[in-house]
Structures are given as C-alpha cells and as structure tokens.
Chains A and B, each alone.
Chain A
Amino acid sequence: MTVSIVVVSHSEKIADGAVELAAQMAPDVVILPAGGTDDGRIGTSLGKVLAALEQAGGEGTVVLTDLGSAVMTAESALEFLESPAGVLLADAPLVEGLVAAAVAAQGGADVQAVRQAAEGTRGPGNQPQPAGWEAGRGSVSSAAPDCTGDFELVNQAGMHARPAAKVAGGLASLDAEVTINGVDGASMTGLMTLGAGKGTVLHVEAWGADAERAVEYVRSLVEAGFGEP
C-alpha cells in the first residue's frame, strides 16, 4: 500500500478536480478530496478533513492545501487527531504539488519523500530530491555514470505531463540516481521544465545498483512513444 494523499480546498470542485487530475497519473494511490464546507459552501471543514484522514490510512498521509484557512483547518485536524504521526502537511502549490506527490507515491516513495516531491514544486532552486535518495549519494554525480543512453522522442506531443509522470514514477521506485538532460529523472516537474518536444534527444545518465534498468526503462518508454501517436 502506498502513501495516501488528502486535498484540502475551499472549493469542493477544486478538491474534486485536483484529485481527478492526479489520479490519472497515479492510479494506485489513494487520493481523497476534502473541499468546501459541510453544506457545500466555499470554506473548509474540520469534519471533512478528519473523515478524509481517517479513510486515507496507508503508510502515512500527505496533506495538500490551497489558501490560508485551509492550512489552519489542516493544522487543527492534526491537533485533534490522537496519533498524528505519519500525517504530514506539505507547503506547496496545490495542483503542481499534488501531481508531483501523487507520482512520487505511485513510485513507492515514503511519506517524507512524497512531501518533499510536493514541496519541490514551489519554485526554481528548490527541486525535489529523487524519492529513495539516501545520504551521501549526492556525491556520485561527479563520478562517471554507471550507465548512459540517448533516445529520441518519437511521439507527437513529446515530454508532456503524462509521459513525465510515467518516467518519474518508474525511476523513483528504482535504486538509482538518474538525470535526463541534466534534470532529476525522478522529478516530474523537472522533466516538464525541459520542454522537450518530438525529435528531442534525451541524454540519460544513471548511477547506482539499478542504473542499467533505469536507462532501459526510459528507452522502452521513449521508443514506444509512451503509448501515444
């Protein structure tokens, strides 16, 4: 069972819509909306947040919020819970953070890494570390990669959100540090910033026990056009 995610928004429609969007990229992750008040107005409800947290279960839960009082309601919910261990609030933009968190959770990341993935979307200079990142592994990128590969994007739309989610989600679950054209291969948002269109060559470098599998994983996805025309 993966880490679960709860989305707290002032608007029921925003929460439901954000969950719908993220679920498309992370079909196995439990993502629950807690939007609007109990009677369907704009606002946030402690009762809805507590119910979602209770239902979420799993190996930890990451909570994403939209505006000020949603943050306060989420914090209040943690204060009400008897055992808030394993429930983490992420300080991240709702949609980008949610999608990044969902992809990380889909890849098997733990609760800390899922929050980190969400918070990594706050802006440049604050990119998330790959899920499963371990202390000391940061230094390996100065060493020669254990495996490399160059693959040309063949699908019409190139590296857009869904392919980026597939690549990042798969790489996050491998024991390897991977860069693609210099960005973290396990970061969906990092991959999307490449703006790589059809015909772009992806240069993949991988370090670690699963380096070869990682490069092979990217090759298979790219050459199949991510299953797209």
Chain B
Amino acid sequence: MVLDANWAVKWLTLCAQAMAEHRVELIELDRAIGDSDHGENMDRGFQAVLAKLGESTPETPGAALKMTAMTLMSKVGGAAGPLYGTAFLRAATALGDSAQIDPSAWADALAAARDGIVARGKAESGDKTMVDAWTPAVDAARAAADGGSTDVLGVLVAAAEAAEAGAVATDPMIARKGRASYLGERSAGHRDPGAVSSALILRAAVGAAA
C-alpha cells in the first residue's frame, strides 16, 4: 500500500461518508455542550469536498489536502471551518509536492496539522477540544514512524486509535475553549464533538489504505 493521490482521494471520500453517517451523533454531542451545528457543518463541508473531487482529480496528496482546506474554510461556516481548514492547509504544506507519503512524512503532516489547529484556536491539551484527539495521534504516529516502521498502514492505525482514545478521554474534562467553555463544570460528562470528528477523519485515513 502506498499513500499517493489516489489514497488521498479515497480518504477524503471516506471522510465525507463518515460525516454523513455520524451527522446526527455529532449534532447530539454538540447540542449538549455547544450550538448543535457541528454535524451539519461537517457534513456540508465534506459534501462540498466531494463535489470538488468530482470536478478535477488532484495530482498529489498535498494538492488534494489544499483543495480540502480551501473548501472547508468556505463551506463549513462555524469555527470548525477555519480550524480544519488550517489543519489540512498546514498538512498540505508539510507534504509539498511529494507523490507519496512515507511513515515519517505522515507523522510530520499530522504534527503540522495539529500545530495549525493550536495556532488558530489557541487551545491546549486538556481544554476539551479537538486538540485532545490530535496530540495523542501525533505522538502515536511519531512513535510508530521512529520505531522504524516501514508499514505505513501501521502508522495510520496508531494515529487513528490514539485519536479515538483521545476523544473518549475528553468525557470528564471541563471545557476551557469554544462555546462549551461557557458551561464551565456542566461541560464535564460530555464528549467533545470536535475531538470525535477528528477521530473520524483519522479513522477514514486507515480505511482508505486498507
């Protein structure tokens, strides 16, 4: 398995499927501690990405991610638009014109994406945001890649599993950023919708390579 432009197109297609399938779940999570638009916004954003992919085929993974960044920032509307948009844009920049992504490059791209989210949203680990899914994913991917793994699927899986665990770990946290922070302690006991959608995106990356 190689992570090339075809893989990237499949990844983004699976992202769109995942957002459509989990739309109601994300809406429910966001209704509890936010403004209940996350599922709808993410679904709309990735449907727009699908439409773009139908118009033209990107030549590199980086080009696919840059197109995704632009589309999400223009179509999502809520805070998730610029946050995911920046994540995909920084990842695209990290990948450059490479035709294929090796394990180390995937770890670097995830780190660049996470740094972009932090720069834009100013959230830190433990604030009950998508950063709590991304940082464990970055660390897991880095560790897998540094372990000398040439198995790119293994690195994708490590990142996705860490992101899923990271999303679950937001349950007891008290939100310190975003709309949920207005709720203070009442935000505890709910899973952060942004962390959940982040885990869905990284799980889709596995599905595209399987």
* B15 CB within 8 Å of chain A: no
B contacts, CB < 8 Å to A: 41, 70, 73-79, 81-83, 85-86, 89, 120-121, 178
Contact A72 B70 (CB under 8 A): no
Name A41's closest neighbour in chain B (CB-CB).
Answer: B77
Contact residues of A between 65 and 82, Cβ < 8 Å to B: 68-69, 72-73, 75-76, 79-80
- Which A residues lie within 8 Å of B76 (CB)? 43
Known contacts A76-B85, A76-B120: does B78 contact A69 (CB below 8 Å)?
A: yes
- Which B residues lie within 8 Å of A37 (CB)? 75, 77
Contact A46 B70 (CB under 8 A): yes
- Which B residues lie within 8 Å of A73 (CB)? 73, 81-82
Chain B facing A: main interface SS: helix
Q: Quick one: which of B41, B70, B78, B121 has the most chain A CB within 10 A?
A: B78
Contact B74 A69 (CB under 8 A): no
Contact B85 A45 (CB under 8 A): no
Cα–Cα, bound, A168→B164 (Å): 57
Instruction: Count A-side interface residues using an 8 Å CB cutoff.
Output: 18
Q: Which of B78, B81, B121, B178 contacts A46 (CB 8 A)?
A: B81
Known contacts A69-B82, A72-B83, A73-B81: does B89 contact A45 (CB below 8 Å)?
A: no
Contact B77 A46 (CB under 8 A): no
Contact B82 A75 (CB under 8 A): yes
Contact B78 A43 (CB under 8 A): yes
Cα–Cα, bound, A79→B86 (Å): 9
Known contacts A45-B74, A47-B74: does B79 contact A69 (CB below 8 Å)?
A: yes
Cα–Cα, bound, A47→B83 (Å): 15
Cα–Cα, bound, A175→B83 (Å): 44
Q: Which of B73, B79, B86, B89 contacts A68 (CB 8 A)?
A: B79
Q: Which of B41, B75, B82, B86 contacts A38 (CB 8 A)?
A: B75
- Which A residues lie within 8 Å of B86 (CB)? 72, 76, 79
- Which B residues lie within 8 Å of A45 (CB)? 73-75, 77
Name B41's closest neighbour in chain A (CB-CB).
Answer: A43
30 contacts across the A-B interface (CB closer than 8 A): A37-B75, A37-B77, A38-B74, A42-B77, A43-B76, A43-B81, A44-B77, A44-B82, A45-B74, A45-B75, A46-B70, A46-B73, A46-B81, A47-B70, A47-B73, A47-B74, A69-B79, A69-B82, A72-B79, A72-B82, A72-B120, A73-B73, A73-B81, A73-B82, A75-B120, A76-B73, A76-B85, A76-B89, A76-B120, A79-B89
Q: What is the CB-to-nearest-CB distance from B181 to chain A, in angstroms, rounded to a whole number?
A: 11
Cα–Cα, bound, A75→B86 (Å): 10
- Taking A47-B70, A47-B73 as known contacts, 19 extra A-B pairs with beta carbons closer than 8 A to each other, sorted by chain A number, are A37-B75, A38-B74, A38-B75, A43-B41, A43-B77, A43-B78, A43-B81, A45-B73, A45-B75, A46-B70, A46-B85, A68-B178, A69-B81, A72-B83, A72-B86, A76-B73, A76-B85, A79-B89, A80-B89
Cα–Cα, bound, A25→B120 (Å): 34
- Which B residues lie within 8 Å of A41 (CB)? 77
Contact B70 A80 (CB under 8 A): yes
- Which B residues lie within 8 Å of A69 (CB)? 78-79, 81-82
